[in-house]
Copies of this chain bind each other. A is one copy, B any other.
Amino acid sequence: MVLGSVVALAGGVGGAKMAQGLADVLGPDRLTVVVNTADDFEHLGMHISPDLDTVMYTMAGLQNEEAGWGLSEESWGFLDMLDTLGGETWFRLGDRDMATHVERTRRLRAGENLSSVTEDFCARLGVAARILPMTDDPVRTIVVTDNGRIPFQDYFVRQKCRPVVSGFEFKGVDFAELNPHVVAAFQASDLIAVVICPSNPYVSIAPILEVAGSLDSLYAVSAPVIAVSPIVGGSALKGPAAKMISELGDKPSAEAVAAHYEFLADGFVLDQIDCAEAEAIRARGLRVWVTNTVMNTHADKARLAAEIMAFAEEFSGVRASV
């Protein structure tokens, strides 16, 4: 395998798993994970960054694998007492998890930025890969639904994705400055691939791409851009991606995701169960890699990551010669 660096764009669970696999295969010091922060929100006076935490906890090996969020070996005394005191408990906050939110909020209020706090937390949790919030500025996803415009966590957690989606707004994105380390990572001379992780295209990846400078930087890379489908067999392994595609008028499929990314991706990885769609995706001008994309075990993650790296090698010289 060619030695070089990789940039991964990630949201929550799927992105975190993919990033963990890539760190395993590449060695952590060659991976930069750019994480969506548009699902960040203020809750109980704390700044909470759900995607950033999922990626950080997963790469530290501390994630709650079953829940898909939060920490393993968690306790729930805080939430239990909060319930007794009449507080809002719809957003599940574990006791250990609370330390992340309280301490991050304290440091942000003291004037530090999100990147710097994240870097320090990662160092303390033993995460060697670089995890970058897409921006240090506030961007907030608003889900436009038949039930009105709903802040993302309200839609996602409190309303359990029930409202029918008609669109998305990323409040603040026009004023957000792309994390300068993201630009540098895209421009690295040893970059061998950009991986769009199997995260939700609308609410995890789109916000990253909408930050000014993000797409331009991506267009300028000579390494292949490879997207991994979060839709497997017509549904999302986690989260509302399939439901959203459906409500926005398309059929949930790997091809629908490929159509979403064809303007910027060079390669597309889809699950073997969807192999019948490979031809149609190729017809959109994307190279295709078909494999088992479901990541249950650590070995699954590493194997998929290794295959993506092998896939990336197939592009050598191709894109540069266009």
Interface residues of A (CB under 8 A from B): 44-46, 71, 74-75, 77-82, 84-87, 94-100, 102-103, 105-106, 109, 120-121, 124-125
Seed contacts A44-B103, A81-B98; 20 additional CB < 8 Å A-B pairs: A45-B45, A45-B102, A45-B106, A45-B109, A46-B102, A71-B81, A74-B77, A75-B75, A77-B77, A77-B99, A78-B95, A79-B99, A81-B96, A81-B100, A85-B103, A85-B121, A86-B103, A87-B99, A98-B98, A98-B102
Does B96 lie within 8 Å of A80, measured CB to CB?
yes
Does B100 lie within 8 Å of A85, measured CB to CB?
yes
- What is the copy number of this chain in the assembly? 2
Give me 23 A-to-B residue pairs in the complex whose CB atoms sit less than 8 angstroms apart, sorted by A's number: A45-B109, A71-B81, A74-B77, A75-B75, A75-B95, A77-B95, A77-B99, A78-B95, A78-B99, A78-B102, A80-B96, A80-B99, A81-B97, A81-B98, A81-B99, A82-B102, A84-B125, A85-B100, A85-B124, A85-B125, A86-B120, A98-B98, A98-B102
Q: What's the nearest-Cβ distance from chain B to residue A92, in Å?
A: 13
Nearest-neighbor residue (CB-CB) of A60 within chain B: B84
Q: In the complex, which of the residues B80, B82, B94, B124 contacts A77, with contact meaning CB atoms closer than 8 Å?
A: B94
Measured between alpha carbons, how far is A305 from B77 in the docked complex, in Å? 33
Residues of B within 8 A of A109 (CB): 45
Q: In the complex, which of the residues B80, B87, B97, B99 contacts A102, with contact meaning CB atoms closer than 8 Å?
A: B87
Q: What's the nearest-Cβ distance from chain B to residue A234, in Å?
A: 39
Residues of B within 8 A of A46 (CB): 45, 102
Measured between alpha carbons, how far is A168 from B46 in the docked complex, in Å? 34
